[in-house]
């Protein structure tokens, strides 16, 4: 991800002025700043300022001084030397601001521009990533930003769920991690960004019987038989969500596990989800019940509800009995009532 300057190839001067008005509440920085992405315009410097003062704060469920320092200070510094990451930050900040404005149409054009450019340059950069160079750290963080950039206001396929897209994107993140860490370890400085749980599970995971039976009934004549292990693995992860809810209620550990759920399933399950196999969609419906519980994180707002509607409209009605609880939760808005129903 790396051409010259995001501003020089973007929209017209009129668009630039309109977007600048949308950003007028942010202080004016100096305009003569150069990065690996080229000369940065005043609008782009304002977006970087917005990232460092607002956008980064609610990207994850839990913040700490360590994660805040990485996102607020180290990430922008790294972006000035890696153009694809700079465009990723600009895109995420623009997307965040877009969601805050009553009329985001002009800013949406800007978001689309940075997102497209960031994704293109990132793909190009992946061919030249040095396992032990700074570019690897930039690529690792960019993989997380891509998940955000491809969540809100991003439609690649009208019938594709965002959760299925996340499965693909997290598979890409795993591939990048393996470039340097074949055993799955991560660099100590960046590992807080990849946290997938806060506490250990101390209770026995318990899944809805109907969900277990749905997988148990797979026999050797079933098209899903070859994927039995993949389905069982995903059910284990769903079981950990139930266990976390049972153990700590509506707590940060549950939210972290739900937010990072899509980083766990195997590539085989990803294939089944893309193929819209009924069992894979049913399992995703249960996952979305937990995603719906997460507060504050701006880039997932409304996704659970939208994905539930897509799956309900896609799957054959003969599978609906397996989704009784998710379909009821789809219509609910009170998080405590949702939690109570999940544990009932």
pLDDT (tens, 9 = 90+) of the chain, 344 residues, equals: 333 334 444 443 444 333 333 333 333 434 444 455 568 899 999 999 999 999 999 898 888 888 999 999 999 999 999 999 999 999 999 999 999 988 888 889 999 999 999 999 999 998 888 777 788 889 999 999 999 999 988 766 677 899 999 999 999 888 888 776 655 445 556 778 889 999 999 999 899 999 999 999 999 999 999 999 999 999 999 999 999 999 999 999 999 999 999 999 999 999 999 999 999 999 999 999 999 999 999 999 999 999 999 999 999 999 999 999 999 999 999 999 999 999 98
- Residue 264: give the domain boundaries: 209-343
CA–CA separation, 1 and 12 (whole Å): 23
On whether residue 3 sits in a domain, the answer given is no
Domain boundary among 109, 136, 154: 154
What pTM was computed for the model?
Answer: 0.85
- Which residue is it, tokens 């098209």? 223
On whether residue 199 sits in a domain, the answer given is no
Domain boundary among 131, 154, 177: 154
Strand partners, 38: 35
Number of domains in the chain: 2
Instruction: Give the CA-trace dihedral at 200, 165, 175, 74, to 10 degrees.
Output: -70
Q: How far is CA 320 from CA 236, 279, 280, 308, in A?
A: 22, 11, 13, 12
Q: Which helix (H) or strand (E) holds 287?
A: helix 278-291
On whether residue 296 sits in a domain, the answer given is yes
Do residues 137 and 214 share a domain? no
CA–CA separation, 164 and 214 (whole Å): 20
């Amino acid at each position: 991800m790396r051409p010259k300057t995001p501003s020089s190839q973007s929209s017209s001067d009129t668009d630039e002025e309109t977007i600048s008005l949308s950003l007028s509440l942010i202080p004016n920085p100096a305009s003569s700043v150069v990065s690996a992405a080229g000369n940065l315009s005043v609008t782009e410097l304002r977006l970087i300022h917005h990232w460092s003062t607002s956008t980064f704060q609610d990207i994850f469920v839990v913040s700490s001084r360590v994660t805040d320092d990485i996102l607020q200070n180290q990430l922008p510094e790294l972006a000035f030397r890696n153009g694809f990451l700079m465009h990723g930050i600009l895109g995420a900040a623009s997307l965040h601001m877009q969601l805050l404005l009553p009329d985001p149409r002009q800013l949406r054009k800007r978001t689309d521009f940075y997102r497209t450019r960031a994704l293109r340059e990132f793909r190009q950069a992946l061919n030249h990533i040095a396992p032990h160079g700074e570019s690897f750290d930039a690529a690792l963080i960019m993989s997380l930003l891509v998940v955000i950039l491809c969540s809100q206001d991003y439609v690649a396929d009208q019938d594709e769920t965002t959760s299925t897209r996340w499965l693909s994107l997290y598979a890409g993140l795993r591939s990048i991690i393996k470039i340097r860490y074949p055993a799955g370890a991560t660099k100590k400085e960046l590992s807080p960004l990849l946290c997938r749980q806060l506490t250990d599970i101390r209770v026995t995971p318990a899944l809805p019987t109907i969900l277990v039976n749905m997988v148990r009934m797979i026999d050797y004549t079933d098209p899903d038989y070859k994927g039995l292990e993949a389905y069982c693995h995903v059910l284990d992860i769903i079981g950990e969500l139930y266990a976390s809810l049972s153990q700590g209620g509506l707590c940060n550990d549950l939210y972290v596990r739900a937010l990072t759920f899509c980083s766990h399933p195997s590539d085989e399950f990803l294939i089944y989800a893309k193929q819209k196999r009924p069992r894979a969609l049913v399992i995703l419906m249960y996952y979305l019940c937990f995603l719906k519980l997460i507060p504050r994180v701006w880039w997932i707002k409304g996704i659970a509800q939208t994905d539930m509607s897509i799956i309900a409209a896609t799957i054959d009605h003969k599978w609906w009995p397996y989704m009784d609880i998710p379909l009821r939760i789809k219509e609910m808005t009170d998080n405590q009532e949702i939690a109570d129903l999940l544990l009932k």
